[in-house]
Structure 1
Amino acid sequence: MELRHLKTFKVVAEELNLSKAANKLGYTQPTITLQIQSLEKELNHTLFTRIGKRTVLTTAGKQLKVHVDQIFSLIAQMEKEMEELHGPKGILTIAASEYYCTRRLSHIIKHYKELYPNVRVNLLPLNSAHAIQSVKDHVADIAIIAGNFHEIDMRQIFLEEEKTFLVVSSQISKDRSLEDIFGLYPFISYDKNCSFSSIINRYFKTSKLQPQSMIVVGGSDETVKSAVLNGTGYAILGENIIKKELEEGSITILQPVSEPITTFCINLKVRSEEPNIQTFCSVLQRVW
């Protein structure tokens, strides 16, 4: 049984019109007729019949079409997988917070592009909750997230553990106690969808002091840090984003927070062997 005869049958079965099938396949109508007749002889079944002016599939033709569709679907999958073995190419979409996009991923992507120039990398700036959903929805291939995350259909790769601190601008902390700061200034908070919010909630649940007021500024680390530096209030921030300010003395640590920020790379387990995902995760672990 020749594959080209099955291909001809598939197109004729879809079009149910020899003229349209001939145009689609680039054959003459007599050639198509001969191929269908050869297939019918080999299978010992009539595959098409005429009802008035209409061409329709026989019972045998309908059954054969089911198998032929499966055959060509498998062939397409085989060709795709064989092509992927040539190496990564196409588009790789990474979802991550603004901080990870600007501070951590730029040099990693540059290194990755030097190794795999045929891959185009897209960055989606999203907070961790939205980044996770983007991977589930196949909008992003990979997400870089902060906070613990466990789902059975996701692969999780640990990247980093970062200390967290309750901080305020050094100008505010001068000659003021922790109690004074809590009483006079608001707490600068992330929105509830940010992974940081769970760390904040658990900190204040066990803390002796509670914020007298709160300002929610969204999910951007840079926005929270700017509000602290401007003297708007105090906040909980990771060590990495305030390293420079701590060295300069413009931000003061009020208290260490016992729970660190954990950073992970996640992707759907069923996609872990895809060349783009596999190679980027490998580079990410080496360079992070």
Structure 2
Amino acid sequence: MDFKKYKTFQVVADTLNLTRAADMLGYTQPTITLQLQSLESELGVTLLDRVGKKTYLTPAGKVVKQYVDQIFALSDEMETELRKLEDPHGLLTVAAPEFYCTQYLSLIIHSYISENPKVKLQLFSCDSNDAMKKVAVGEADLAIIAGPCNSPQMETMPLGKEDLVLVTTRELFEQHDTRELLASYPFITYKTGSNIQRLVNECLQEYGITPDKYIECVSDETIKRTVMYHTGTALLGSALVEEELRKGTLAEIHRFPGKIETNMVILKKRADEQNIRSFSEIVQRIWKEWG
């Protein structure tokens, strides 16, 4: 199939004027005439008629014109889609716990949008389990989570490790010994079944304590704020409480090194999508710089 002949026919059929078509295509009139004759011979039909000085499409020419328009429209659509692979654009949805959203992703998003201005980013704040579920059902394109992901459908990219720190306020820490504190005040933690809660339970067992009183919260920030009101104790990621520990607002009771593994997860079947790949590359690059 000689696309040049079909393009020539399309332009002639649009203009119904050989002189104007020649100017638009940059051909001579004899060249256009030869291409049209060759196409008619190839198809075995007459495409154009002339009555006086006017050019008309034959019934066969009208049919061919309809299909030629569809062919070139599909060709343009294909080229547009191919350009998308080279130029990230459209909507990209990221799901992550609140702490990752506020402390890490805000900077990453700024860097990503600077490099990819045609992409519109949407950020969901939710716990790690919900973030993975959103990726699994297509409500999010990728997720940043605390803890492991064991789904065979997911590709997991480790970003780093973080300590878990058992903390309380400086006042409570100075007023009570550790066992009394843990026995008398509630343990403030994540909701049952969450990804990070399993890590917390492992640490509690390792430390040899089983709190009698619990308060469950939906986010890291809520847990930290509840602790800071002298409510009790909590196990939190070191990055979340680093500033409060430095200022002395919170006190460290015990530290569990490298317990939180931060991962980025995406569906394996979507790993090669340009938006996802470009975002995951910048996340890994910036996280490595922080590491």
Q: TM-score range by the shorter chain?
A: 0.7 to 0.9
Instruction: Measure, in 1, the Cα distance between the counterparts of 2:220 and 2:227.
Output: 11
Q: How far, CA to CA, are the matches of 1:153 and 1:192 in structure 2?
A: 24
How far 1:79 moved relative to its partner? Answer: 5.0
Q: Which residue of 2 aligns with 1:230?
A: 229
Q: 1:184 to 1:29 in 2, by over 3 A?
A: farther
Question: Equivalent residue for 1:106?
Answer: 106
Write out aligned runs for 1:12-161 (5 A).
30=59, 79=79, 81-161=81-161
Cα distance in 1 between the residues matched to 2:251 and 2:225: 14
- C-alpha distance in 2 between matches for 1:137 and 1:80: 27
Taking structure 2 as the reference length, the TM-score comes to 0.71
Distance 1:149 1:34 in 2: 56
In structure 1, what is the equivalent of residue 274 of structure 2? 275
- Stretches of 4+ moved more than 4 A in 1? 1-4, 28-35, 74-81
Corresponding letter in the other structure for 2:232: G
Aligned residue number for residue 253 of structure 1 = 252
Instruction: Provide the rounded CA distance (Å) in 1 between the counterparts of 2:202 and 2:246.
Output: 28
Shift of 1:76: 9.9
Larger radius of gyration: 2
| Equivalent-residue separation in structure 1 for 2:58 and 2:139 (angstroms) | 44
What is the root-mean-square deviation in Å for CA atoms of aligned residues? 2.8
- The Cα shift of 1:163 comes to 0.5
In structure 2, do the counterparts of structure 1 residues 273 and 81 end up closer, same or farther at CA, with 3 Å as the change threshold?
farther
- Cα deviation, 1:219-249, whole Å, max 9, x if unaligned, reads x111000111100110101100001000000
Residue 273 of structure 1: how far off its partner (Å)? 1.3
Query: What's the TM-score once normalised by structure 1's chain length?
Result: 0.72
Structure-2 separation of matches of 1:260 and 1:184? 26
Given that 2:168 and 2:253 are in contact with CA atoms closer than 8 Å, whether structure 1 keeps it comes out as yes
Which residues of structure 1 form unaligned runs of 5+? 5-27, 39-70
Higher mean displacement: 75-84 or 171-180:
75-84
Number of the residue aligned with 1:239:
238
Q: Which amino acid aligns with 2:147?
A: G
Alignment of 1:156-167 (within 5 A): 156-167=156-167
Is 1:187 the counterpart of 2:191? The answer is no
* Cα displacement (A) at 1:135: 0.6
Distance in 2 (CA, whole Å) between partners of 1:29 and 1:195 is 69
Aligned-partner SS, 2:117:
coil
**Cα offset for 1:203?**
2.2
The whole-number CA distance in structure 2 between the counterparts of 1:267 and 1:29 is 55
- Counterpart residue number, 1:209: 209
Identity %: 33
Q: Which runs of 5+ in 2 are unaligned?
A: 7-56
AA at the equivalent of 1:135: V
User: What CA distance in whole angstroms lies between the structure 1 residues aligned with 2:2 and 2:61?
Assistant: 13
> Which residue in the other structure is 2:21 paired with?
none
Structure-2 separation of matches of 1:2 and 1:252: 77
